[in-house]
A and B are shown apart, each in its own frame.
Chain A
Amino acid sequence: MSTPADHREGAHHGGGAVVGDGGAIHDIGYRRYDGERLGPLSIERALFVEGLRGAFGLGRTTKAKIVPFLLLAALLLPTVIITLVRVLTGDLLPVTYAAYLHSTQVLIAIFVASQAPALVSRDLRHRVVSLYFSRPITRTGYVRAKFAAMASATFLLMCAPLVSLFAGALIAELSFREEFPEFLIGIAAAALIALLLAGISLAIASCTPRRGIGVAAIIAVLLVLAVVEQFVDAIGNETGHDALEEWSSVLSPFSLVRSIAHHLLRGDTLSIAAAPSTATGLGYLAAWAGFIALTVGFLVLRYRKVSVS
């Protein structure tokens, strides 16, 4: 079998050696492989890394990189401005890490909405799942890898402005002793938000093989939840139902985590007037865990039903 590719490879490896008439000296036929084969966990890790990179468009087309990096820039820009104001004017500006995540929630929601369908809808639409599930990876392992990838990507996205904000605070010579614990609370809040959003977004995305529908559905759900939360909060405020006002934040992922940060981590969220209460905090944490269990459980069941052919 002499082909153009063989000729080229032959020429390349041969380094100008005399190769006779054909030149196809490197067609060595089929080679068996009896080297190392990785186990299901290593395969899951490879799928996780691919998904994590893919969420930022790495290893995908140039077009796929635009949205994640635009959002990253949009999240970082205010932190640079805040730092500049702090350094140049000496005005310390009331910004905290947990509050920053809450006020940029639309950007984070867009990131999740745009990337979750890319992670799972694509495999469903083009039926690549049948190739995954005919390999040594379990359906639960597939869900685990995708969930970890989505959560990690969202977490890293949120970490970027927090780190920038913290570095800026140090440059502006704010007290390290005061800033550092708040920074850590911000990172913890980012982790809690990331896990919650990954569950919700993947559960929605796994229901449709159409990417566009997935994007719209996730955005809609996250925005509607935020609006409903504010609505219920306002009703509680107007009618004097404190419980309604206090628990309304369960309805929105960002507010839910902000409440955990306030009540349990005792962070400064700038917005919650009620005194921190561990009991309330644990209630919110239970709600958070419940949402994760619900969405991940749904994903596992969903993928058990996905057909291979």
Chain B
Amino acid sequence: MIISTSGLTRRFGSITAIDGLTLKVEAGTVGLVGANGAGKSTLIKILLGLLPASSGAASVLGHDVKADGIAIRRRVGYMPEHDCLPPDVTATEFVVHMARMSGLPFSVARERTADTLRHVGLYEERYRAMGGYSTGMKQRVKLAQALVHDPELVLLDEPTNGLDPAGRDEMLELIARIDSEFGISVLVTSHLLGELERVCDSVVLIDGGKLMRHTMTADVTGATGIVALEVDGDNAPLAALLTSRGVAAVAVGRTLEVQVAEEQQFDIVRDAVVELSLGLVRLERRRHHMTELFVPTEGDAHVDAS
């Protein structure tokens, strides 16, 4: 278990940012999803031992956040949501310095900086002052400084914020590798539910500082009984033929949604397509999306489903 909280509460005056949160997170990649102001950043600050809880307890990597903040911060990396890079130094100089501030000896800091910047995909640019970097490059440096000391857990606060769709995909790919290739557990926050299901083993949804749901991604996005079928021609006769043979098929635009219960029914689908002399364009098993699960049940949770 990398993170565990019980009845964790944090109030700021009359506002309750975290409200009786009880959570157990196993090693791997966990997504923390909630709208802006849902309490994500407050939770991260508590987990880093930087903000005392009003009540309740929390531990990270087996260390109590109240008593052992330094021990936690030795073994955890943190990537803030906001900009935190001085513009007048190069990425290499900056990450070396940050590695030393995490306790690495100088020669190790230099070696690991070179490695880490390469892993996050920064090459020639690392010798240039960071003031001229694009948002995508800045996000990579921010990630590198969180990884350079080889932590056991990284806390990534909205790492895809401000990135264009391509940059977003690259960042998500990188995050997936942190756990699978580097062996470092990840807690990643987002206000977008859709993007996290691709990289996370489990997703925690919070709203108003309360835990709404904690779900294993595999359970949610598992296979459904629906197969998407696309042919290069009119699909109405095919739908009729399939239905007459006991396989329910509904046209949704150019796609037929076919209810497949048993393996043999795939043969019926194939034979029907051949009989009508249609070209088979796509035959794909539909997966659930996280958004289907959360949005109808948590209609009042202001989560941008995308």
Contacts and interface: CB of A to CB of B under 8 A. Distances in A.
A133 B45 CA distance: 10
Contact of A308 (B80, B102, B118): B80
Q: Which of B45, B101, B106 has the most CB of A within 10 A?
A: B101
A101 to B, nearest CB: 32
Contact of B108 (A5, A33, A59, A133): A33
Contacts of A47: 101
Nearest to B88: A61
Interface in B85-114: 85-89, 93, 97-98, 100-106, 108, 112
B191 interface: no
A12 interface: no
B105 A136 contact: no
B19 interface: no
Contacts of A4: 123-124
B103 A33 contact: no
Contacts of B149: 33, 37
Contacts of B51: 308
B3 to A, nearest CB: 16
Interface in A55-81: 59-61
Nearest to A39: B103
Contact of A30 (B50, B78, B97, B181): B181
B40 to A, nearest CB: 10
Interface stretch (A120-128, A227-235, A254-262, A281-289): A120-128
B183 interface: yes
B145 interface: yes
Nearest to A28: B115
A249 B192 CA distance: 62
A17 interface: no
Contacts of A308: 45, 48, 50-51, 80
B279 to A, nearest CB: 37
Interface string A128-142: 101111111110000
Contacts of B85: 126, 128
A224 B265 CA distance: 91
A46 interface: yes
Interface string B71-85: 101101010111111
A115 B44 CA distance: 34
B103 A37 contact: yes
A136 B74 contact: yes
B101 A135 contact: yes
Contacts of A136: 70-71, 73-74, 102-103
A29 B104 contact: no
A30 B119 contact: yes
Contacts of B87: 126
Interface string B30-57: 0000000000010011001011000000
A36 B81 CA distance: 30
A131 B150 contact: no
Nearest to B71: A136
A122 B130 CA distance: 14
A278 interface: no
Q: Which of A33, A123, A135 has the most CB of B within 10 A?
A: A135
B207 interface: no
Interface string B157-175: 1000000000000000000
B183 A137 contact: no
Contacts of A122: 86
A31 interface: yes
A5 B118 contact: yes
A131 B98 contact: yes
B112 A33 contact: yes
Contacts of A133: 50
Contacts of B71: 136
A296 to B, nearest CB: 22
A60 B103 contact: no
B183 A135 contact: no
Interface of B: 41, 44-45, 48, 50-51, 70-71, 73-74, 76, 78, 80-89, 93, 97-98, 100-106, 108, 112, 115, 118-119, 123-124, 145, 149-150, 157, 181-183
8 contacts: A5-B123, A30-B115, A30-B181, A33-B108, A39-B103, A60-B89, A135-B103, A138-B70
**Which 10 interchain pairs have the tightest Cβ spacing?**
A33-B150, A134-B78, A37-B103, A38-B103, A30-B182, A5-B123, A126-B86, A136-B74, A127-B84, A46-B100
Interface of A: 3-6, 29-33, 35-40, 42-43, 46-47, 50, 59-61, 122-123, 126-128, 130-138, 308-309
